[in-house]
Amino acid sequence: MSKPQVFVTRKLTNEVIAMLETVAHVSVWEGDTPVPRAMLLEEIEQADAVLTMLTERVDEELLRRAKKLRIVANMAVGYDNIDVAACKRRGVTVTNTPDVLTEATADLAFALLLATGRRLTEANRFLLAGEWTSWSPYLMAGQSVYGTTLGIIGMGRIGEAVARRAAGFNMRILYHNRNRKEEAEAKTGARLAGLDELLQESDYVVLLTPLTEETRHLMGGREFALMKKSAVFVNVSRGGTVDEAALYEALVSGQIWAAGLDVFRQEPVPLDHPLLSLPNVVALPHIGSATIQTRDEMARLAADNIVAVLSGKEPLTAL
């Protein structure tokens, strides 16, 4: 009997490819850019498994071409690029990579909070442009972090990890979530709050919800209007959770003080995007989980899921 076929949509480590080769023939898109859609459609016809990134859409068009597909292993915790319901109708398992990226993403979220609140990238540009000519008492003055109030929207694994970091900064922590998280409350002193209360009282608001129909444009003009004029908004979830036009207006009008963004509705974000023109925006290229160690673990977990399914076993992290 011939081995199953696995298609990997981005170049990964030799270790991960070797893991997959224990159970299958493996083909890999070697480019540094997303695999061309035409190639993905062609490869999926013979694939028993595909290891995807957030840049690949697994939709009805793709699934109609899949003759043997048994598993889609997404190398991300989010899976808004995958039509999970359509996969399940066809008996295709979908897996993600939770847990292994929690701490790295929480580190990035808190780093973005600090960088935005304290104007670190703006101050760096100021210095490099040769504009630092003397000391001044309010030169590049930012917002305090220690002892302020943090609002976390979406208290999943990453939200809880951000709360642990905030506790070390003696922050008062509010969170908004579908379910109460008593263990997180006990560890960090966080308190469950309604969304409006959280927005009105927080000095920093960190958005960490998955992108669903319910959370699309969760943060819009009404929500930004509730925030303090000195408040900082940080998004480390998905770009679609925010009405970017409303955020731009809130920043330009002074309705909120600044924003730190790791994600955008369109990625890569166009350089002429209005938000990139603002000095009070710290923008990053979706690097929440981007540490070498974390990305290695994510790739290994995705590969483990494929090996399990192709070996007739249960996947580790099925949706």
Rounded Cα gap, residues 202 and 288, in angstroms:
22
Q: Could you check whether 5-98+292-310 and 102-283 share the same CATH topology?
A: yes
Q: Which residues are catalytic?
A: 238, 267, 286
Alpha helices (H) in the chain, listed in sequence order: 14-21, 37-44, 60-65, 84-89, 102-117, 120-128, 157-168, 182-188, 195-201, 221-226, 244-253, 292-310
Tell me if 264 sits within 8 A of 240, measured CB to CB.
no
Where helices occur in 36-130 by DSSP H, the ranges are: 37-44, 60-65, 84-89, 102-117, 120-128
pTM here is 0.92
Ordered per-residue pLDDT tens for the chain, 319 residues? 689 999 999 999 999 999 999 999 999 999 889 999 999 999 999 999 999 999 999 999 999 999 999 999 999 999 999 999 999 999 999 999 999 999 999 999 999 999 999 999 999 999 999 999 999 999 999 999 999 999 999 999 999 999 999 999 999 999 999 999 999 999 999 999 999 999 999 999 999 999 999 999 999 999 999 999 999 999 999 999 999 999 999 999 999 999 999 999 999 999 999 999 999 999 999 999 999 999 999 999 999 999 999 999 999 999 9
Looking at domain 102-283, its CATH class is alpha beta
Domain coordinates in residue numbering, the chain? 5-98+292-310, 102-283
Predicted pLDDT at 32: 85
CB 72 within 8 A of CB 52: yes
Per CATH, the homologous superfamily of domain 5-98+292-310 is NAD(P)-binding Rossmann-like Domain (3.40.50.720)
- How much is the CA Rg of the chain, to the nearest whole Å? 21
Instruction: Look at residue 2 in the predicted model and tell me its pLDDT.
Output: 84
DSSP 285-297: -S-TT--HHHHHH
Q: What is the pLDDT of residue 1?
A: 65
